[in-house]
Amino acid sequence: MPHDHHDHLSPSGHPYRKDDDVELTYWQTMEIAVRELLIEKGELTAAQITSQIDAMDARSPANGAQVVARYWTDPDFAEALLADGSQATRDMGYDIGPMKLIALPNTPTLHNVVVCTLCSCYPRNLLGLPPDWYKSRAYRSRTVREPRRVLSEFGVELSPDIEVRVHDSTADMRYIVIPNRPDGTEGWMQDQLAELVTRDSMIGTGLPKHS
Amino acid sequence: MTASGRRWHDMGGDASDPVLPDEHDFALWEKRVDALLVLCNVKGLFTVDGLRRVLEDMGPEAFETMSYYERWITSVNQNLIENGVYTIEELGQRMEEVKMRGNTYGDAANG
Amino acid sequence: MVSGQSVRVKSYSPPGHVRTPYYLRGKTGIVERVLGPFPNPEQLAYGLKAEPQPLCRVRFSMAEVWGKATDNPSDTIEAEIYSHWLEELDT
């Protein structure tokens, strides 16, 4: 159908990506067909799908960074987050849906890192969608056995007297690592601190930026 | 499945390559697959456990040769068929219609 | 099941959808905390009515899981294991 769709926006209001211009694949055909059937059968509406994509696009590691920065600056919140991670983040205003969250604070002698060896469980309602490497065979296989070697591939070298604790996200809980607050940030406000919190520092494969 | 009973997706502890810091932005069709699985799950049309079961049963070849969302739309569809949301015939017919609309995703999705 | 309980993960390997990683089967650890109950995924996956199960976060030492074939045997692993996969041990 030779009409020009390049100037149009997708139903979610975003510009089309270049994948729209490559040859249609079998699975793309299936996605279109499944989506249309679900709408025709009255199970979903096009508007629901659009707003779900918008909600997903709005989630990013910036949300998690605010949680971490607040943990650093607000002792009451820190206590609430450890007691019930889901409720505390919900109370901060994040729409985390049914996600059950456990916060894992690092200490000077403990470094936490999260993996899902069985599939790709990730705190997506707080951090957005997982990076490709998190879903890779290499990361899923090796992290539970040789976490220090995996961390060093991310540029994180830990001294032997720091315990590495690997969390295999096998069932219903999702995990966010609370990295150690960087030195030299005394008196900083939450928003300033959040700028230092990287996505990988909340997975455990990175550290916060230096102040 | 190996003779030990260990299944292919259960890969914790295997030797593997260095972790490459791969990332990509998701395409519209991939985001739509994601949205469908979230919404259908919330609506009770299937469970995440059912989705995982099908992904596992698809086997290691699918893991190595298909992209993440190619595998997920396959599993979403399988679960919707199993739960009677639509029939295989309806799906087959609709996929043919979609293909007739054009050669690109943009044309086929909006024809 | 309570936190601090010593447990061993069952070592059997039935076919089908389970959420107990193979590398932890037969291994001994300590319950770090008890969560749930959550519906049994081994029933949910097949569209069956699922019985609620307590879910335990169990902590294992790398030495217990891998022996010396790991990069620091005193590091630890935690995983969520449904209680029907756990045997309580006397300590």
Statement to judge: residues A3 and A105 lie in one domain: no
Give me the residue spans of the domains in chain B: 28-86
Cross-strand partners of A114? A167
Helix (H) or strand (E) holding A114: strand A110-115
Q: Which fold has domain B28-86?
A: Cyclin A; domain 1 (1.10.472)
Is pLDDT larger for residue A206 or for residue B25? Answer: A206
Enumerate domains of chain C plus CATH numbers.
6-88 (2.30.30.50)
| Residue A131 at interface with chain B, using a CB cutoff of 8 Å | yes
Q: Clarify whether A120 is annotated catalytic.
A: yes
Chain A: closest CA distance from residue C13 (Å): 15
Helix axes B28-42, B68-82, angle to 10 degrees: 30
> In this predicted structure, what is the pLDDT of residue B21?
86
CATH number at residue A188: 3.90.330.10
Catalytic (active site) residue A60: no
Q: What pLDDT digit, counting tens, does each position of C7-28 carry?
A: 999 999 999 999 999 999 999 9
CA distance C77 to A165: 5
Q: What are phi and psi of A210, to 5 degrees?
A: -70, 155
The residues of chain A scoring below 70 in pLDDT are 1-21
Q: Give residues with Cβ within 8 angstroms of A69, minimum separation 6.
A: A190, A191, A192, A193, A194, A196, A197
Chain C CB within 8 Å of residue B47 CB:
yes
pLDDT number for residue B15: 92
pLDDT of amino acid B111: 58
- My answer on whether A126 and A86 are in the same domain is yes
Number of domains in chain A: 2
Segment 50-69 of chain C within 8 Å of chain A by CB = 55, 57, 59, 62, 65-66, 69
Q: What is the pLDDT of residue A2?
A: 39
Q: Is residue A131 part of a domain?
A: yes
Within 10 A of B79 (CB to CB), how many other CB atoms are there?
23
Q: Using one digit for the tens of pLDDT, what is the confidence trace for A68-95? A: 999 999 999 999 999 999 999 999 999 8
Question: What φ, ψ does residue A11 adopt, rounded to 5°?
Answer: -60, -20
User: Each residue of C57-73: b (16+ CB within 10 Å) or e?
Assistant: bbbbbbeebbeeebbbe
Q: How far is A74 from chain B (nearest CA, A)?
A: 33
**In the predicted model, what is the mean pLDDT of residues C38-64?**
96
**Shared-domain flag, residues A78 and A169:** yes
Nearest C-alpha neighbor of C46 from the set A170, B44, B53: B53
pLDDT at A18: 54
Predicted pLDDT of residue A99: 87
Of the ranges A11-25, A144-158, B63-77, C73-87, which one carries the lowest mean pLDDT score? Answer: A11-25
pLDDT score recorded for residue C68? 92
Which of B11, B86, B103 is facing A23, going by the closest CB pair?
Answer: B103
Judged by a CB distance cut-off of 8 A, whether residue B81 touches chain A is no
Among A13, A33, A58, give the residue marking a domain's end. A58
Asked whether the beta carbons of A126 and A89 are under 8 A apart, the reply is: yes
Contact across the interface for C45 and B12, Cβ inside 8 Å = no
Taking the CA of residue A67 and the nearest CA in chain B, the distance in Å comes to: 24
**Chain B touched by C47 (CB under 8 Å):** yes
